Structure 1
């Protein structure tokens, strides 16, 4: 059996966890955990650094020890104990141990997670928080979640700490050094370091700009990213991010727009299906107009940047985002010129562009991680757009959407009212292929 003990946030170990340590034959943990624990003199120790060597050491020990072990309730010595920070089942080592040895061989004694402790220090509930790990992972996902949601906990790591997170939020970037803009909004960062260490514990509130210029050292546990004006949500039934919207492709009347210059809901429905906006991703809405696509993508949890060249259009996007309770970063300028300053997107919707449309499609298609969707009213523009998508290496498909809506007539009868036809083209980046493997 393997006993996993969560520690490191100041709470004392429960008696059964202490008993497991007393019977341990092999103890695995970070250097600080091994130094702080009361270990038997006879126990072997493995300092937890890279995970694979530690798992190999556990496997070798179990192969030698388990055949001669007494039953689990006998109190026999020689057990494996793994010391971990906080709750080891929450973005912790329990996953790797269960995958390698099976969950049936684990006894887990969870501690208080660093996320729970950090929110406690901030005096906030966290059932409505989104938790994202940037430890050993790309920072851009955490940045996109922070831009889109009012209450986020980021588990940090080397190269993905408070300074890097603050710099990306301050610049509107995605963590890879690209971009500038206004993605941070009214965000405040709560940086929690050395949680549970007594006098060494630090919990500091800083702006993203302040975080970006600090050297935070290795003791940071977690960073909370808060929009303090929305930090307290109504009572929740389901924890985590808000559920996906119960309806989408909202009626045009639910948006402020000018002279019916808005992507119609039939077109919007298919565009959203091809864009696939989701939590942790970044979507561009180019030629945003009313911002209907941008707002709908934000309702699905994506971070969204809307590009609009008219000042009144910028105001409409802001107003529509506020009316739907979402956040959209709006860039006032003309594509493709302003695109070079934006962080790379996962998906792009292009609803305007005029004569610059092929150049805009090319710029977007070269940088998107997944897809580009283009809506056009003019048949003449379809070949150039398709050529631009294909030239950028995307697989291109498209349809002509032409719908008729039920409309009332005098005498309590109904007619069909045709909407203007729209061409919708989309390009999707093919999946990466492994060398020597045909997919």
Structure 2
């Protein structure tokens, strides 16, 4: 029998103590093994190398107890055991996330829970940029200080750092991201990243991040714009399909105009940055962002120079700029680039710019005609101007790291021009 026992700092309840007393092998972290009564004749394996510990479980002769933090079925060891064909009995304790929100005095059915433990920190950071209430399961090198450096100053947030929950060194600290970068933190810890203005969310019917939008490719009149400078709904629909915005992604909208593409990406749960070169356009984007109730960072500056201030994106929409801008975006995009063009002569240089950065390029012309009423209860088709949509896709193999000077930190935001958020 394999029993997974969750540990939250409390004495093991009777069923867990019974399994421990009869175990031939006990596997767990060093602090777990030191905290519970391990029988004298039992073999112990410290779970530093998870694969090695699982090998010991596979070859065990007798009953096995695996000790794990909190609820072992929540980002825990149960998944790894099941993947090896085991069917363990699970005796969970209080999860660290539930305890952290209890310490903060907050409900958490509307919270997004992400893990940076053995995973890419940038996805957790992007989730924190886009969502008002996020719990981050941390790891050495991906903890409160690293989160603080990535989020300060463009994403105003507050942190609740919960160290050694349930243990002898438990400490709960409320601070700003900038302060988190200046302190040392004890492991293990959980960080709640909160938008104070939206930390008490509306009552919903589903746990975690809210469902995606019920509709997208919103009509142009859903956005304030100048002289019809807004990406048309039909073009936006294809652009969103190629960008594929999702939770954990960061999308750039270059030459954003009204910010419609960035806002639609944010409605899907992605973090988004809209780039425009004039103050009036930036103010218009901010007004549209407020109207749609999403989070979009706004950066005022001229591409491609302004891009050096931005963290690496998963995908980029380019609504304005020539081949130089397209190539600069393609050199940074982790997944792909989408470009909207009005002039046919710009298609070939754009395809070449994408291909030069190793992306597989495609193009299509969109021509839409909308039904328009005429007198006498009849209709005509009103043709919109044709638009060329060019997109490039990165192969599954990650590209080589971009050459950078010694001070370059791609995933840590420097202050954006104007300090706009």
For the residue of structure 2 that corresponds to 1:245, the secondary structure is coil
1:179-211 superposed Cα distances (whole Å, 9 cap, x missing partner): xxx2x1x2001100010125x210101101000
Work out the CA distance in 1 between the residues paired with 2:31 and 2:308: 45
Say which is worse superposed, 146-155 or 26-35, in terms of deviation.
Answer: 26-35
Question: TM-score normalized by structure 2?
Answer: 0.93
Q: 2:72 aligns with which of 71, 88, 98?
A: 88
Q: Compute the displacement of 1:147 (Å).
A: 0.1
Given that residues 12 and 36 in structure 2 are in contact (C-alpha distance below 8 angstroms), is that contact kept between their aligned partners in structure 1? no
Q: 1:192 aligns with which of 162, 172, 183?
A: 162
Q: Which residue of 2 aligns with 1:125?
A: 107
Structure 1 spans left out of the alignment, 5+ residues: 66-77, 172-181, 434-439
Structure 1 stretches (4+) deviating beyond 2 angstroms? 10-14
Say which is worse superposed, 258-267 or 15-24, in terms of deviation.
Answer: 15-24
Q: How large is the RMSD of aligned CA atoms in angstroms?
A: 1.4
Q: Which residue of 1 aligns with 2:57?
A: 58
Structure 2 spans left out of the alignment, 5+ residues: 399-421
Q: Which residue of 2 aligns with 1:69?
A: none
Q: Compute the displacement of 1:39 (Å).
A: 1.9
Q: Which residue of 1 aligns with 2:174?
A: 205
Q: 2:316 aligns with which of 348, 364, 372?
A: 348
Q: Which residue of 2 aligns with 1:314?
A: 282
1:368-399 superposed Cα distances (whole Å, 9 cap, x missing partner): 11110000111221111111111111111111
Does residue 234 of structure 1 match 2:198? no
Given that residues 31 and 47 in structure 1 are in contact (C-alpha distance below 8 angstroms), is that contact kept between their aligned partners in structure 2? yes
What is the number of residues matched between the two proteins? 399
Q: Which residue of 1 aligns with 2:401?
A: none
Given that residues 11 and 112 in structure 1 are in contact (C-alpha distance below 8 angstroms), is that contact kept between their aligned partners in structure 2? no
1:339-368 superposed Cα distances (whole Å, 9 cap, x missing partner): 111111110000012xxx110001011111
Q: Compute the displacement of 1:431 (Å).
A: 2.1
Q: Which residue of 1 aligns with 2:30?
A: 31
Work out the CA distance in 2 between the residues paired with 1:55 and 1:276: 36
Does residue 388 of structure 1 match 2:322? no
Say which is worse superposed, 263-272 or 376-385, in terms of deviation.
Answer: 376-385
Q: 1:413 aligns with which of 373, 378, 386?
A: 378
Q: Compute the displacement of 1:13 (Å).
A: 2.7
For the residue of structure 2 that corresponds to 1:20, the secondary structure is helix
Q: Which residue of 1 aligns with 2:404?
A: none
Given that residues 163 and 212 in structure 1 are in contact (C-alpha distance below 8 angstroms), is that contact kept between their aligned partners in structure 2? yes
Work out the CA distance in 2 between the residues paired with 1:208 and 1:239: 26
Q: Compute the displacement of 1:142 (Å).
A: 0.6
> Larger radius of gyration, structure 1 or 2?
1
Given that residues 194 and 221 in structure 1 are in contact (C-alpha distance below 8 angstroms), is that contact kept between their aligned partners in structure 2? yes
Q: Compute the displacement of 1:7 (Å).
A: 0.6
Does residue 296 of structure 1 match 2:264? yes
Question: TM-score normalized by structure 1?
Answer: 0.89
Q: Which residue of 2 aligns with 1:401?
A: 366
Given that residues 160 and 172 in structure 2 are in contact (C-alpha distance below 8 angstroms), is that contact kept between their aligned partners in structure 1? yes
